[in-house]
Chains A and B, each alone.
Chain A
């Protein structure tokens, strides 16, 4: 098993699209399950120290997933995914947006279209993710938010560790 599998990450500014590609040392049916079953999805979807919590999920075309990204201080960012198309164990697409805890979409936050594709070769499964925003500034806004959350979280962790180190 390879340990140094790297994520292939690129930003296509012409098309306001972020592309993420990654290989997983697991059969396709497992990778598919991890992306489409809420109990599994919640275990990995949020980067630490954030947690993902799915309130409801109906994985079918026309169905939706309502979930919260929960921060270290208990702060909640609610998101809604509207499933547009599903081809079992091969591909699914959805429209993502920020919303309130009842799933009412926020109009002033960027929405994005996600396409997730799965291919298996020799027991390895490759996942291709494409996230398309309506405008380049929407894409930049989201990158900026992710950056700030990550950065703030890191500072908070550091603040916790530092007093312990002094002792």
Chain B
């Protein structure tokens, strides 16, 4: 496999997140995407390149135009890391449950 760019790095940039929102409903070509931003077209191309390398979007040629598609599978991976964060709290709190049980037992012994 070719070297892939990190998904988290890809979504850390606000412009790239805006691009993802923009193409979430329908695939757009590069010009249509660039029209929505105040920054230069080459800069937009660069952002799209990063998104493409991260696997978050796919680029397909239609005639002379290049269209950007969102790849739902990769978006799902982002959901999964939120799930990990939640799990982190679950683990922490089940340990707190144990601490509280111990406190209760100590009180009963006194």
> 0/1 per residue, B73-95, Cβ < 8 Å to A?
00000000110111111111101
B12→A141 contact, CB < 8 A: yes
Instruction: Give which listed residue, B8, B11, B81, B89, contacts A7 with CB less than 8 A.
Output: B89
| Chain B interface bracket (under 10, 10 to 19, 20 to 34, 35 or more) | 20 to 34
Task: Please judge, given known A-B contacts A30-B104, A150-B88, whether A143 and B81 are in contact too, CB under 8 Å.
Answer: yes
A20→B89 contact, CB < 8 A: yes
Q: Does A90 contact B (CB under 8 A)?
A: no
Tell which of A21-29, A58-66, A77-85 binds the partner: A21-29
Interface on chain A toward B: helix, strand, loop, or mixed SS?
helix
In Å, the complex CA distance between A150 and B13 comes to 24
Nearest chain-A residue to B106 (Cβ)?
Answer: A30
In the complex, how many residues of chain A place their beta carbon closer than 8 angstroms to a beta carbon of chain B?
Answer: 30
A43→B100 contact, CB < 8 A: no
Q: Does A48 contact B (CB under 8 A)?
A: yes
Q: Does A157 contact B (CB under 8 A)?
A: no
A43→B99 contact, CB < 8 A: yes
Contacts of A7 in B (CB 8 A): 86, 89-90, 93
B103→A30 contact, CB < 8 A: yes
> 0/1 per residue, A121-152, Cβ < 8 Å to B?
00000000000000011001101101100110
Q: Which residues of B contact A (CB under 8 A)?
A: 8, 11-14, 81-82, 84-93, 95-101, 103-104
> Could you give 30 example pairs across A and B, Cβ below 8 Å?
A7-B90, A9-B85, A9-B89, A11-B82, A22-B89, A22-B93, A24-B100, A25-B97, A25-B100, A26-B103, A30-B100, A31-B96, A34-B96, A34-B100, A40-B99, A43-B98, A44-B99, A45-B92, A47-B92, A47-B95, A136-B14, A137-B13, A140-B8, A143-B85, A146-B84, A146-B88, A147-B84, A147-B85, A150-B84, A150-B88
